[in-house]
């Protein structure tokens, strides 16, 4: 099927989805320690509590993502007027709005916080599980970048049923959007409580933080309504043209929920490119944990053990926090700059997604083991910035290429189930690196880098096999 009448408004809504979701994730995860302290008056065992909150996130992601993905396929094979991705995106942001409202008004105990964080995780999983589905709609559409010149009226649709090779560029675009969402959240959302405090001196720290959650709750429901209106609706009968070269993945009879889930698993077990995208998702999501958690932990460990923290308060490592922010900030900026380059390489007929995934895994290997085998544990040197930048290149490269591989499937019948399995593999990567890497880092601070390096060996072998078979 080729989706016709795909407009710039649909493309913008798709990118707003990734932008907004990541922005809300960054805000909530970054403010958790302050919420525990200011709102719930908890100032002990914060690390253990935050770790448990993250564990709840990933367990629910692993359990729910295949079910949510298959729900998309179930809606699309029913007589609904709206397609599954559009509905699930609306529900996902509505759930995020409800959870943020609960943070603002309803939570008064740690147990309630655990429950609401689980609700938030379901909302995030719903949204992120639909990103490859939305990308698949775009990749198999008649959209062309010249449609962005919205003042030029197009009188004729493309007559060819062939989809132009822009899948990599579309994947890079959503990669850039999510990266910008994280930057926007750090600069705007995270500073919101402080700005509220400055403008309204009568507000306490607790009240300003709760008010920030309330404001973002309202913003989330606005995003949900916006997406319900402007996301592409592939279920309109006049929106699709049959490509004679594409084969349906299921018979025309309407399958039930379990049949859809089983069929998605069957397709992935018989398609090496889909399997490769799953391995790419596993490595990509693992890399986000290394960047967000274990690089700052390494920096803090060095500053603490070398006596470079505050002489009067060893727990005050302000300089360490500043350096960790600079290190990760530089790496993330380099990754953001490389996004369009990965997109161009993916679409190049002599390169493609599989070779790009191989290249990104090799960069990750050099970055991870370069840090592990560096005898100098002091991160304040050029080598560290170089190797961490390679790891960031791995992160953005594996995200974009794995999504590109999955979304290039030219049928939407089981794309939701496959997208759910894709998210499940990513959740497993996060869970394993978090727990195994965290435990191992107590005896060797660079252990998470070695573990991610091992993951990249797997990705290198898998992508090499797919490239040369």
Residue 258, CA distances (Å) to 70, 144, 149, 267, 369 in order: 8, 36, 44, 14, 43
Q: Residue 240 belongs to what H/E stretch?
A: strand 240-241
Closest CA to 462 of 234, 252, 275: 275
In a domain, 85, yes or no: yes
- Count structural domains, the chain: 2
In a domain, 395, yes or no: yes
Q: How far apart are CA 386 and CA 162, in angstroms?
A: 42
Last residue of a domain, one of 216, 234, 252: 234
- Domain assignment of residue 414, given as a range: 267-468
In a domain, 239, yes or no: no
Last residue of a domain, one of 234, 251, 284: 234
**Maximum separation of any 2 CA atoms in the chain, in Å:** 74
Residue 346 and residue 300 in one domain: yes
Q: What is the dihedral of CA 101, 105, 111, 114, to 10 degrees?
A: 20
Residue 304 and residue 175 in one domain: no
Residue 168 and residue 281 in one domain: no
Query: pLDDT value at position 165?
Result: 65
In a domain, 449, yes or no: yes
In a domain, 318, yes or no: yes
Residue 322 and residue 385 in one domain: yes
Residue 47 and residue 118 in one domain: yes
Q: How far apart are CA 365 and CA 399, in angstroms?
A: 16
Residue 226 and residue 281 in one domain: no
Backbone torsions φ then ψ of 23, nearest 5 degrees: -60, -45
Backbone torsions φ then ψ of 232, nearest 5 degrees: -65, 140
User: Residues 23, 184: contact at Cβ < 8 Å?
Assistant: yes
Per-residue pLDDT of the chain (469 residues; tens, 9 = 90+): 678 889 999 999 999 999 999 999 989 988 888 888 888 988 777 767 887 888 888 899 999 999 999 999 999 888 788 999 999 999 999 999 999 999 999 999 999 999 999 999 999 999 999 999 999 999 888 888 765 654 455 444 444 444 456 778 899 999 899 889 988 988 899 889 989 988 888 888 899 999 999 999 999 999 999 999 999 998 764 466 555 544 455 555 677 778 888 888 888 888 899 999 999 999 999 998 888 788 888 888 888 788 777 654 545 567 787 888 888 888 878 888 899 999 999 988 889 999 999 999 999 999 999 999 876 778 888 899 999 999 999 999 999 999 999 887 765 578 899 999 999 999 999 999 988 888 888 889 899 999 999 999 999 999 999 988 6
Residue 285 and residue 230 in one domain: no
Provide the CATH number for the domain around residue 72: 1.20.1250.20
411 pairs with which residues across the strands? none
Q: Where are the strands (E) in 323-371, listed by range?
A: none
In a domain, 356, yes or no: yes
User: Residues 138, 11: contact at Cβ < 8 Å?
Assistant: yes
Query: pLDDT value at position 243?
Result: 55
Query: pLDDT value at position 241?
Result: 59
Residue 219 and residue 296 in one domain: no
Residue 224 and residue 319 in one domain: no
Backbone torsions φ then ψ of 388, nearest 5 degrees: -65, -35
Query: pLDDT value at position 457?
Result: 97
Rounded to an integer, what is the distance from CA 23 to the centroid of its chain?
A: 11
Query: pLDDT value at position 158?
Result: 46
In a domain, 156, yes or no: no
State the residue for tokens 């189930």. Answer: 417
CB atoms closer than 10 angstroms to residue 172: 27
Residue 87 and residue 199 in one domain: yes
Last residue of a domain, one of 175, 210, 234: 234
Residue 229 and residue 347 in one domain: no
Residue 207 and residue 276 in one domain: no
Closest CA to 100 of 124, 135, 128, 64: 124
Query: pLDDT value at position 261?
Result: 84
Q: What is the gyration radius of the CA atoms in the chain, in angstroms?
A: 22
State the residue for tokens 């993951």. Answer: 455
Pairing, β 240-241 against β 2-3: antiparallel
Q: What angle do CA 36, 42, 45 make, to 5 degrees?
A: 95
In a domain, 244, yes or no: no
Closest CA to 343 of 172, 173, 138: 172
User: Residues 367, 390: contact at Cβ < 8 Å?
Assistant: yes
Closest CA to 385 of 444, 448, 274, 299: 299
């Amino acid at each position: 099927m080729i989706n016709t009448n795909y407009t710039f408004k649909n493309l913008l809504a798709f990118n707003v989805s990734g932008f907004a979701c990541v922005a809300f994730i960054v805000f909530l995860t970054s403010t958790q320690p302050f919420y525990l302290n200011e709102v719930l008056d908890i100032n002990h065992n914060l690390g253990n509590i935050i770790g448990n909150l993250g564990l709840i996130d990933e367990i629910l992601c692993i359990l729910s993502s295949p079910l949510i993905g298959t729900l998309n396929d179930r809606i699309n094979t029913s007589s609904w007027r709206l397609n599954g991705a559009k509905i699930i995106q609306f529900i996902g942001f509505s759930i995020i709005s409800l959870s943020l409202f609960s943070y603002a008004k309803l939570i008064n105990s740690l147990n309630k916080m655990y429950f609401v964080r689980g609700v938030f995780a379901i909302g995030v999983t719903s949204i992120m599980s639909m990103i490859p589905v939305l990308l698949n709609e775009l990749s198999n559409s008649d959209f062309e970048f010249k449609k962005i010149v919205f003042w030029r009226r197009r009188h004729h649709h493309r007559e060819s049923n062939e989809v132009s090779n822009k899948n990599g560029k579309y994947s890079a675009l959503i990669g850039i959007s999510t990266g910008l969402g994280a930057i926007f959240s750090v600069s705007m959302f995270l500073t919101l409580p402080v700005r509220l405090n400055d403008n309204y001196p009568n507000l306490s720290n607790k009240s300003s933080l709760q008010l920030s959650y309330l404001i973002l709750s309202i913003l989330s429901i606005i995003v949900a309504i916006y997406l319900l209106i402007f996301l592409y609706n592939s279920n309109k009968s006049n929106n699709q043209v049959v490509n004679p070269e594409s084969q349906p993945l299921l018979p025309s009879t309407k399958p039930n929920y379990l049949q859809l889930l089983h069929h998605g698993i069957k397709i992935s077990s018989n398609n090496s490119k889909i399997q490769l995208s799953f391995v790419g998702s596993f490595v990509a999501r693992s890399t986000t944990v290394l960047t967000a958690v274990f690089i700052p932990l390494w920096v803090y460990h060095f500053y603490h053990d070398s006596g470079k923290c505050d002489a009067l308060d060893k727990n005050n490592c302000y300089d360490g926090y500043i350096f960790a922010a600079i290190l990760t900030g530089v790496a993330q900026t380099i990754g953001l700059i490389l996004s369009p380059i990965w997109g161009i390489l993916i679409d190049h007929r002599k390169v493609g997604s599989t070779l790009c995934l191989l290249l990104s895994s090799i960069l990750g290997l050099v970055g991870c083991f370069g840090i592990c085998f560096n005898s100098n544990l002091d991160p304040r040197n050029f080598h560290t910035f170089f190797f961490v930048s390679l790891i960031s290149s791995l992160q953005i490269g594996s995200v974009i290429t794995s999504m590109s591989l999955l979304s290039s499937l030219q049928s939407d019948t089981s794309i939701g189930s496959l997208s759910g399995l894709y998210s499940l593999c990513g959740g497993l990567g996060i869970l394993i690196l978090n727990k195994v890497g965290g435990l191992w880092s107590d005896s060797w601070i660079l252990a998470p880098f070695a573990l991610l390096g091992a993951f990249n060996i797997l990705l290198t072998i898998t992508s090499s096999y797919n490239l040369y078979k």
